[in-house]
Structures are given as structure tokens and as C-alpha cells.
Amino acid sequence: MAYEGILLGMGNPLLDISAVVDEDFLKKYGIKLNDAVLAEDKHLPMYEEMTKKYEVEYIAGGATQNSIRVAQWMLQIPGATSYMGCIGKDKFGEEMKKNSKLAGVNVHYYEDGTAPTGTCAVCVVGGERSLVANLSAANCYKSEHLKKPENWALVEKAKYFYIAGFFLTVSPESIQLVAEHAAAKNKVFMMNLSAPFICEFFRDVQEKALPYMDYVFGNETEARTFSKVHGWETDNVEEIALKISQWPKASGTHKRITVITQGADPVVVAEDGKVKKFPVILLPKEKLVDTNGAGDAFVGGFLSQLVQEKPIEECVRAGCYAANVIIQRSGCTYPEKPSFN
């Protein structure tokens, strides 16, 4: 089987500015742990304050880009994955390009001359993370870039597509183009609920894309928010996963599978009207560095086996392995080679 370009991701490429901060810092900027939000005016000074006050690390991030890089790392087949998103023409953008090339991902960035490369403040307290994203250039992605022959060729070549829900705030029309292509050509289209605010405030575009989703990923908080927004009146993650899997589909080729992670609790997989639960690899608290990128890494591990047509048990096992590696390191980073067998 030819793996070149088999998996394509689209999303918001962001440079993570990561630091261990304190409760006061979170309070000052009105940030909740384990949340992800878009930066408002009140958040803008925090980036500067973080670099002055704490020891910061700069790590190439962005949810979809993290997942694609992890899938690429797990596959160890150069060029198996591709990625599109928008960066600025600046040193952070150059850094991102260098990073992705080293990771073996075939990136086709749209470079915007008017805005700086997007950043994401990763505030870590007690190993738990909170994200505040300042999209900047990432917000400037246009479907015109996707339609260019050299970029659309990546879509034609791929058999699997993964897009984090965060991209719904940027270019729903790009998502729709890829989703419709996937349905027409019997390919596999996948998205992530990504954050409570996506389910709450971008409900319309999320619902428009949902019929095309063959796999829906998310965590327990996002799943419960999705349930609340849709008036399902249940907090039971297994029930919610089932209901999402039974949402009407645009194409009958693949049945929808919902995969919900719950931190240290078992992964919930809903398909065919049934729910399966898979335990995760438990990690002693003292080994936890930070949870930044854990969900992204889970998806990356999962996708690395899915594109090889492995059974769902193997996909989940690989997802759990990748997440376990990432939470023992700062940000979404990994050792040179995986030890997954």
C-alpha cells in the first residue's frame, strides 16, 4: 500500500508559548484550567508577561498540526502526512517550517504578509494546562489557497482527512470543500469537537460539517457541552457518544464512530449502536509533566494505525501510547523513535 500523502490535516498552525505559571496568573487573566479559548483584548498583555515572569518554551503547536506530527512520528514513513494552514512571514513562521520539515510532514502553508504567525499561551499549573490562542495569521487562511492545483493535489492524493474543530472559526468553506470531496470519493473525513466554546458558539458551522464526519473525536467536557447545547439532558458520556454516532450522515459508505477520551478514565468508543470502553495507560502523578497536546497526541496515534487499516482496538491502543509519551514531556514533543509495537 502506498502511504505517501495518505493523511491530510488542515488547521491553525500556532507557536506554543508554554510556561509553568501560578494560580494568581490564571486569576488575573480569568483563565480556567483544562480550557481552551480564543484571546480577547484582556488576554493580550499576558504573552509579554509570561516571557518576562516565567521560564517559557517555544514549541510548534496548533491542535491539528500536533496530531499530524504525532501520526507522522508513529508511522516513520517520510511524507505519509500533509498539512495546510496559514502562518505569517516572520521568524516564528520560519521556525514552524523548519520544525515541520524535520518532523517529516509535507507542509503547504499559506503565508500571509499582513499578520504575524499565531501564538498560543500554554499556562501550566500542577501538570494541567489551559490554552489561550491568539490566531493572528492562522485566522487568515482562505479557501483560494486550498483550490490552487498544487494544494488541491494533496486533497486528491489523501485517503484520510483530519481537521480539528478550531478550524471552524477560520475557514468553514475549506472544511466543506474537503468534506464533500471525501463523501464523493468514499474517503474518510474526521473532526474533533476541540473545545466547549466551539460546541457553544460555532454550533451552526459544526452542525453543517457533522453529517460528513466519519469519526468524531473529543474529550468528556466537550462531549457534555455538545449534549447541553443540543438539549439532550444527559451528562453520561457513553450515551452522548452514541447519540453523536447516530447523527444523520451525508454518505452511507462509512458508519460514524465517536471516540471520547476522559483523561485517566477509559476511552469511550461508540459505533453500530454499541459502546466499548478501553482503559488508558495510567501514569504516576510525579511523572506527569503537562497535559498540553495529550488529546492531539491521542488522535495522532489513533490515525497512525487507522491509515494502516488496523482494527479500532489497535487504533485506541496507539492513541493511548502516544498520549502517554506526550504527557511525560513539555508540550507536544516526542523522542526520536516510538517504541510502540
Instruction: List the catalytic residues.
Output: 296
Sign of CA dihedral 266, 189, 308, 101: negative
Question: CB–CB of 87/62 below 8 Å?
Answer: no
Say whether 108 sits in a helix, a strand or coil: strand
State phi, psi for 278 to the nearest 5 degrees: -125, 125
For residue 132, how far is the Cα from the chain centroid? 15
State phi, psi for 297 to the nearest 5 degrees: -65, -40
Sign of CA dihedral 102, 97, 143, 164: positive
Beta-bridge mates of residue 123:
19, 130
Residue 157: C-alpha distances to residues 3, 8, 179, 202, 297 (Å):
10, 9, 14, 30, 24
* Helical (H) or strand (E) element with 98: helix 91-103
Q: Are strands 265-271 and 215-219 parallel, antiparallel or unpaired?
A: unpaired
Centre a 10 Å sphere on the Cβ of residue 121 and count the other Cβ atoms it contains. 26
From CA 251, how far away is CA 253, in angstroms rounded?
6
How many C-alpha atoms does 326 have within 13 Å on its Cβ side?
31
DSSP code of residue 5: T
Question: CB–CB of 4/80 below 8 Å?
Answer: yes
Question: CB–CB of 299/162 below 8 Å?
Answer: yes
